[in-house]
């Protein structure tokens, strides 16, 4: 149940450099997420009350009946364009067993059954396959007879042969299923297939949801965390490379809630914070990481880079201020100072004249004697 092998906290960076140009990862919302996305692709009629437009193509096979599907979605009422549900915002994938979905999810299930892993689509669902004549008690903003718009992404799915729905699994079965997903993700990660790897990690985490973890203690909790935490950290590594730093910080913070001294979580959160310009917070993370991994060269390198960055900023600011204000102004002589200097000069001249007259007088007197 190990994380992607590495000799040091920063070693993963060397293996990840080739991933810079990877495709957008699953779970990344398009546009601002507050309104349904505008899609130009052709409309596919799945049923009389369900249509689909593909936003992003998927790959592989489609799920069959009773497959356990993991997905993210947003939902709006078509008439008001009001968003009433968003699993991306909650950072928690939704689990659906096709053929056993809730009645209000029937239209969504029709769309999901037509999708491939990694596919993202826009679904229009009639009220008959949504929340029906009564609307929704859980979502008061869904009125009676409301047609629904879904933006949905199928992260992946487990076919019937994989076993059961999560709720029917024993603790060992759920941890084992999550570990298999994590190992698949690690293999894809090493092949530089970030998109596919992220989907596997997210499915592994879905098996180990908060409700499940809350029930565990002792060795079972330790076993689950040994799978769950590396998945969050590997997702953070992908997100940093994809410049999605806020999401990377969130993944590392989840690990630090369980293990506040996790050096790798501190290191990666520090990197993400540094990229966002949060240098004080980044330095704090790196210093904590160094406390628990004092010999790690990657941590020392990041601290040195922060120091160099601060020095460069200070130098630049100093040059900017110098250019704005120029050299310090020289004091201008006031009229009073001028008069004083003239008076001092006159006194010196008078003293010199008196001295000259005195010497001439003494010379003439000396001649007379």
Give the count of beta carbons closer than 10 Å to the beta carbon of residue 63. Answer: 25
Give the count of beta carbons closer than 10 Å to the beta carbon of residue 160. Answer: 15
β-bridge partners, 70:
95, 156
- Tell me phi and psi for residue 320, to 5 degrees: -65, -45
Give the count of beta carbons closer than 10 Å to the beta carbon of residue 50. Answer: 24
CA angle 139, 145, 149 (to 5 degrees): 65
**Structure confidence at residue 1 (pLDDT):** 45
Please answer whether residues 173 and 163 qualify as being in contact, where contact means their C-beta atoms are separated by less than 8 angstroms: yes
Q: Return per-residue pLDDT of the chain as tens, 369 residues.
A: 456 544 456 554 444 433 333 333 344 444 567 889 999 999 999 999 999 999 999 988 899 888 889 999 999 999 999 999 999 887 778 888 898 888 999 999 999 999 999 999 999 999 999 999 999 888 988 999 999 999 999 998 887 654 467 777 888 988 998 999 899 889 888 888 888 888 889 889 888 888 888 888 899 999 999 999 999 999 999 899 889 999 999 999 999 998 999 999 999 999 999 999 999 999 999 999 999 999 899 999 999 999 888 888 777 777 776 666 566 566 666 667 677 878 787 888 888 787 778 777 777 776 666
CA dihedral 289→291→292→295, nearest 10 degrees, is 90
- In angstroms, the CA 119 to CA 251 distance is 23
Sign of CA dihedral 356, 362, 365, 369: negative
Distances (CA, A) of 145 to 77, 102, 103, 126, 150: 10, 17, 14, 8, 16
**Structure confidence at residue 207 (pLDDT):** 86
- Tell me phi and psi for residue 3, to 5 degrees: -75, 175
Question: What's the topology of domain 31-161?
Answer: Chitinase A; domain 3 (3.10.50)
One of 1.25.40.10, 1.10.3370.10, 3.40.605.10, 3.60.15.10 is the CATH number of 163-323, namely: 1.25.40.10
- In angstroms, the CA 15 to CA 153 distance is 28
- Per-residue b/e over 205-238, b at no fewer than 16 CB within 10 Å? bbbbeeebeeebeeebbebbbebbbbbbbbbbbb
CA dihedral 46→50→56→57, nearest 10 degrees, is -20
**Structure confidence at residue 333 (pLDDT):** 60
CA dihedral 107→47→64→149, nearest 10 degrees, is -30
pTM (2 d.p.): 0.64
**Structure confidence at residue 43 (pLDDT):** 94
- In angstroms, the CA 90 to CA 116 distance is 23
Cα 165 to chain centroid distance, Å, stands at: 31
- In angstroms, the CA 188 to CA 198 distance is 9
Q: Where in the chain is the domain with CATH 1.25.40.10?
A: 163-323
**Structure confidence at residue 131 (pLDDT):** 94
**Structure confidence at residue 14 (pLDDT):** 41
Sign of CA dihedral 165, 167, 169, 175: positive
Token pair recorded at residue 44 = 């596919």
What secondary structure letter does DSSP report for 199?
A: H
Please answer whether residues 3 and 189 qualify as being in contact, where contact means their C-beta atoms are separated by less than 8 angstroms: no
Element (H, E) at 290: helix 279-292
What secondary structure letter does DSSP report for 78?
A: T
CA dihedral 204→243→251→138, nearest 10 degrees, is -80
Length of the chain: 369
Categorise residue 205: left if φ over 0, alpha if ψ from -120 to 50, beta otherwise. Answer: alpha
Q: Where in the chain is the domain with CATH 3.10.50.40?
A: 31-161
């Amino acid at each position: 149940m190990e994380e992607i092998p590495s000799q040091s906290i920063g070693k993963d960076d060397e293996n990840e450099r080739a991933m810079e140009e990877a495709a957008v990862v699953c779970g990344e919302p398009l546009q601002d997420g507050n309104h349904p996305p505008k899609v130009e692709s052709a409309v596919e009629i799945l049923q009389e009350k369900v249509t689909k437009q593909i936003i992003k193509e998927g790959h592989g096979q489609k799920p069959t009946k009773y497959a356990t599907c993991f997905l993210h979605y947003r939902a709006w009422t078509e008439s008001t364009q009001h968003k009433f549900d968003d699993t991306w915002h909650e950072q928690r994938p939704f689990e659906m067993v096709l053929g056993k979905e809730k009645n209000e999810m029937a239209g969504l299930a029709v769309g999901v059954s037509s999708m491939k892993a990694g596919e993202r689509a826009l679904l229009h669902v009639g009220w008959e396959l949504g929340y029906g004549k009564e609307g929704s008690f859980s979502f008061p903003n869904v009125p009676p007879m409301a047609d629904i718009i879904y933006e949905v992404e199928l992260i992946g799915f487990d076919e019937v042969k994989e076993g059961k729905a999560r709720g029917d699994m024993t603790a060992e079965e759920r941890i084992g299923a999550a570990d298999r997903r994590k190992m698949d993700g690690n293999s894809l990660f090493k092949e530089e297939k970030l998109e596919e790897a992220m989907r596997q990690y997210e499915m592994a985490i879905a098996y180990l949801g908060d409700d499940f973890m809350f029930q565990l203690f002792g060795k079972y909790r330790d076993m689950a965390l040994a799978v769950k935490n590396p998945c969050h950290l590997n997702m953070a590594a992908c997100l940093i490379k994809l410049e999605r730093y806020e999401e990377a910080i969130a993944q590392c913070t989840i690990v630090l809630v369980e293990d506040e001294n996790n050096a790798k979580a501190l290191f990666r959160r520090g990197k993400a914070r540094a990229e966002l310009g949060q240098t004080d917070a980044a330095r704090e993370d790196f210093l904590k990481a160094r406390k628990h991994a004092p010999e790690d060269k990657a941590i020392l390198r990041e601290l040195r880079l922060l120091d160099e960055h601060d020095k460069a900023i200070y130098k630049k600011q100093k040059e900017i201020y110098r250019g704005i204000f120029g050299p310090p102004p020289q004091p201008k002589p006031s009229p009073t100072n001028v008069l004083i200097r003239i008076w001092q000069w006159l006194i010196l001249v008078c003293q010199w004249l008196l001295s000259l007259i005195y010497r001439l007088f003494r010379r003439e007197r000396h001649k007379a004697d």
